[in-house]
Chain A
Amino acid sequence: MTTHATDRPSRRASAKGPGAAAVLRYFGVAVIVVYCLAPFFWMVVSAFRRPSDQFQLSALPRPWSTANFRAVFKPEVGFGRALLNSLVVAGITTVVTLVIGTVAAYALARLEFRFKNLVAAVIIAISMFPPISIVVPLLKLFTDIKWINTYQAMIVPSLSFALPLAVWYLTSFFRQLPAELEQAAMIDGCTRGQAFRKVILPLAAPGVFTTAIITFIAAWNDFIIALSMVNKKDMQTATVAISRFTGAYGFDQPYGTQMAAGVVVTVPLVLAVLAFQRRIVSGLTAGGLK
């Protein structure tokens, strides 16, 4: 009681006081926002310039033009196909990862068994594995078994980083759910499997969804695996396709087209991330016994 009484005036004073500290705070916020958004802004602005205005330095395009976007989606560029490939690879990787990762995470979060810490350590250690260390041998293997230029040649290596990542996030989400819920279900006659399916999984849905988004983004953003495993234009993913855009004038970098394609690849992710941010906050605060 005493604290509240003495606290209140001080809080009010700090919230309203237009002192140097407040100015500094707003300045800090502005610096962060500019730091984070300025390069992204420059990408969007450059994408909307006319190809002939590429080196213009005005803050906004004069005039606005969608020529770069039209160039990206010209049929001979095959960027639509590349987006589809990215979607297939990242989508299948995410689904496979979630299906096998969820049960593994449940075991790590809820069961008591020997070598549990060792298994957890191995899984987290694997998530730090340098991809080049698996790309080199797998490239050779996939050449031998004729998997080069296939979806599975990109999906299988992607599991190497997606799966540990997903198990890691899912384990912490499952652990946030109170064990009492499941125990109650089991006392009421559920088996452990039923308790998992009918009680834990629905409650963990926000966590599973969040994990799905993180995994999808990680797989979507992959570059080195897709670059190594595919050399046919039809099969390359969006990130590789952008890097291989060729300019109209020989060795010139087709920056405008690349920025437009970058915007196309990034904007859906940014939108998904904003939604995911809300999810994670609600996921953290919604846990606990009612």
Chain B
Amino acid sequence: MNGRAGRVPSPRVRPVVSSRLIARKTEPFMTTSAPAAAPPHAKPAPKSRIRRAHRGEGRLAALLLSPTLLVLALVIGYPLVSALRGSLYQRGEGLDANGFVISGEHFVGLRNYTDAFTGANGSRFWNAFGNTTFFTITTVVLETVIGLAMALIMHHALRGRALLRASILVPWAVPTAVSGLLWRWVFDANGIANNLLGQQILWSADGWPAKWAVVIADTWKTAPFIGLLTLAGLQLIPAELHEAARVDGANAWIRFRKITLPLIKPALLVAVLFRLLDVLRMFDLPYLLVGNQKYSVQTLSVLAFNEANNLHYGPAAAYATLLFLYVVIVAYAFVKILGADLLAGARTRTPARRRRSATRPLAGRGTPA
């Protein structure tokens, strides 16, 4: 486990290690990871035979999936369309073509959007957009770094693993709403934070301290979860890889960069993507920790919520739609640029899936008998 002792084995050992590694790597192909219905030893079967084996499964699949898809269409599809339509209307009194006063909703075209970008609501929208982006970048960077560090420490911990696992799940289990109030208390003007810092910072007033309070609270809650997901990725790396590299003279930093990082990249990217999209829709923390009318922490979700609460459904729907588009663009860009393979677990046969199923049993069974 540590560098000095690792160099002891003679070079003769290496071929043995690597050939065993190969043998164990290929073994799971033959036993568990074969695709659903095809017999395990007939992997290169002709396509027609595979198709025959799966005949009639389409209808069954449609039957089994229809309740889920129906519910999702109702709770996601309908609101999405409705928000899009609603964002083109405004409520309130207006004059119709003949000069009569009409109350209720009337069609305003894209005015809610132009208002958001340049018009009456411009400064509020861009402020919320800026806050959302700021929170997203700072918290995700902090959480990734801290989460990765936590995963490495947990991976190398010799004792106290049970305690670690238990304590790392506590921030995750605390409801965000409760954590918002908890941090409001910590950051109270007479609270523990100011006392420990020996400062008199007005955290919950408008301004930069409020922003940082939100960042700290969010990082506390979610960095451990990134750590947990990354740890799962770390445990899949066969110890032999590190040992072989150590024999070849690679130091800890090189081993981290050349072995650990590339191998946990898929797990880490998925964790980061989930966090990214979660922060973009942040609502509870700014709302409860600082307040929903505080300009400096107002996110797009808070802004849309406030507008809806004031019965300004049109602008609220426009903000909600814009936030949705923002999320879609970020997710798409992230997947395209960094190649996060979200569907690795869901797709039937891709290189990534094969690689993962090949390494999983290694971690599960530990050292060979």
Contact = CB atoms under 8 A, between A and B. Distances in A.
Interface of A: 2-3, 6-7, 9-11, 13-15, 17, 19, 21-22, 25-26, 28-29, 31-33, 35-37, 39-40, 42-43, 46, 55, 57, 100-101, 103-104, 106-114, 116-117, 119-126, 128-141, 156-157, 159-160, 163-164, 167-168, 171-172, 175, 178-180, 183, 192, 217, 220-221, 223-224, 227-228, 239-240, 242-243, 253, 255, 258-259, 262, 265-266, 269-270, 272-274, 277, 284-285, 287-289
Contacts of A171: 345-346
A261 to B, nearest CB: 8
Interface of B: 1-2, 5-6, 8-10, 12-13, 16-17, 31-32, 34-37, 40, 50, 53-54, 57-58, 60-62, 64-65, 67-69, 71-72, 74-76, 78-80, 82-83, 86, 150, 153-154, 156-160, 163-186, 188, 190, 192, 195, 220, 224, 227, 274, 277-278, 280-281, 283-284, 287-288, 300-301, 304-305, 308-309, 313, 316-317, 319-321, 323-324, 327, 331, 342-343, 345-348, 361, 364
Given A32-B154, A133-B320, A255-B185, 15 more contacts: A2-B16, A3-B17, A13-B2, A29-B154, A29-B159, A116-B61, A123-B72, A124-B346, A125-B331, A128-B277, A130-B281, A183-B37, A242-B178, A270-B169, A277-B166
A288 B317 contact: no
A204 B50 CA distance: 26
What are the 10 tightest A-B residue pairs by CB atom distance, in nearest-first order? A10-B5, A130-B281, A28-B153, A112-B54, A120-B346, A104-B68, A137-B82, A14-B1, A134-B79, A221-B175
B167 A111 contact: no
A129 B313 CA distance: 19
Nearest to B85: A137
Nearest to A43: B182
Contacts of A163: 68, 71-72, 75
A137 B86 contact: yes
A6 B68 contact: no
Q: Is the interface of B mostly helix, strand, loop or mixed?
A: helix
A244 to B, nearest CB: 11
Q: Is the interface of A mostly helix, strand, loop or mixed?
A: helix
Given A36-B224, A130-B280, A130-B324, A119 B69 contact: yes
B234 to A, nearest CB: 14
A113 B54 contact: yes
Nearest to A288: B32
A119 B284 CA distance: 30
Contacts of B177: 221, 223, 239-240, 242-243
A172 B78 CA distance: 28
Nearest to A10: B5
A138 B154 CA distance: 43
Contact of A39 (B86, B183, B304): B183
B228 to A, nearest CB: 9
A168 B72 CA distance: 14
Contacts of B195: 57
Contacts of B342: 121, 124
16 contacts: A2-B9, A21-B2, A25-B157, A26-B160, A32-B168, A42-B192, A110-B36, A117-B347, A117-B348, A128-B327, A130-B327, A134-B79, A180-B40, A239-B175, A269-B175, A284-B364
A266 B173 CA distance: 7
A14 B345 CA distance: 36
A23 to B, nearest CB: 12
